Amino acid sequence: MVANMVIETTKKIRDMEIRGAGKIARAAVEALKNQIMVSRAKSVNDFIKEVENAANILKSARPTAVSLPNAVNYVLYNIKINKNLDLDELKKKALEACDNFIKNSLEAVRKIGEIGARRISDGDTIMTHCNSKAALSVIKTAFRQGKDIKVIATESRPRYQGHLTVKELSDEGIDVTLIVDSAVRLFMKKVDKVIVGADSIAANGAVVNKIGTSMLALAANEARVLFFVAAETYKFSPQTLLGELIEIEERDASEVADPEKFKGVKIRNPAFDVTPPEYIDLIITEKGVIPPQAAFFVIREELKWSLWNSI
């Protein structure tokens, strides 16, 4: 039996009613928690099959943010290593794993803010793209520490997540300017640091984030502006260690323009792009700051459990 909440959450993630790599991960784990609570499985094996099935449905919601499979695989891993327990004890362990993931991932955003804010100086102008809770945690923490900062935020077509960003920052009292995505290079001259989030980070330190991120990185590189990525360690992709590529989600053309009005025209809508490690100065994680070239070590140290299916 698949819990209604699993079906509903999968739909909400797919439709981007729930969005942002961290939020997607927590929502998937909440749904898995519900699956565990309503499960009527009579044996450990049936229980595991049921949770695995729900996990697979959730993982299929969006392909790019590795936070989603990493989060549900963390719960599955904790179930697998405890499969010798009786069913009630196993469920308890599984629920504990869900709660730990949610608690730790929220704490990670706070820590990234604290660690990243040390890299922000009084008087900085910061450019950001899309709407990343991790990147905004750095900006807000620096501001709350009394640093006088200004933010330039892109609107982030086609879904305009930049509107969420400017609202969030201006509610906080931060001086924020909204620009169209194509104005990035023009404004880069006024910028001291760029901070963006990440949906996935490959073992070689390449960062997959909202479409247009690599354009900010190029412009920053040209203008010799520092380029920071704020990301929790569960956004690093263990599969890329084995040479697997991160899939770039292409969403419906109607998000870009009404296909009815452009008959005979191809409309493309990739949701993410890849910024090579050479364009990234630092990745700010909850465990500390690393150069992108150290991504491999994050996967080795923090995501050891992700090899769960070889257990």
Task: Note the residues at the interface with ligand RI2 (CB under 6 A).
Answer: 19-22, 130, 132-134, 161, 196-199, 209-210, 271
* Residue 228: strand pairing partners: 195, 282
Closest CB to ligand RI2 among residues 27, 44: 27
Minimum CB–partner distance for residue 102 and ligand RI2 (Å): 14
Give residue 222's identity as a one-letter amino acid code.
Answer: E
Minimum CB–partner distance for residue 135 and ligand RI2 (Å): 6
Q: Order across the sheet with 200-201: list the strands.
A: 200-201, 207-210, 272-275
Pairing label, strands 175-179, 193-196: unpaired
Closest CB to ligand RI2 among residues 106, 223: 106
Minimum CB–partner distance for residue 292 and ligand RI2 (Å): 16
Closest CB to ligand RI2 among residues 19, 91: 19
What does the alpha-carbon distance between residue 303 and residue 289 come to, in Å, rounded to a whole number? 17
What does the alpha-carbon distance between residue 87 and residue 84 come to, in Å, rounded to a whole number? 9
Pairing label, strands 200-201, 193-196: unpaired
70: its two tokens: 């990493």
Give helix 21-38 / helix 133-144 axis angle, nearest 10°. Answer: 110
Closest CB to ligand RI2 among residues 21, 246: 21
Closest CB to ligand RI2 among residues 50, 155: 155
The per-residue DSSP string of 204-255 comes to TS-EEEETTHHHHHHHHHHTT-EEEEE--GGGB-GGGGGTPPPPPPB--GGG
CA 75, chain centre distance (Å)? 18
Minimum CB–partner distance for residue 22 and ligand RI2 (Å): 3
Residues 6 or more apart from 24 whose CB is under 8 A from it?
13, 18, 61, 62, 65, 67, 68
Q: Which residue has the tokens 């190029």?
A: 218
Closest CB to ligand RI2 among residues 225, 271: 271
Minimum CB–partner distance for residue 19 and ligand RI2 (Å): 4
Q: Which residues are catalytic?
A: 130, 199
What does the alpha-carbon distance between residue 72 and residue 215 come to, in Å, rounded to a whole number? 32
Minimum CB–partner distance for residue 13 and ligand RI2 (Å): 9
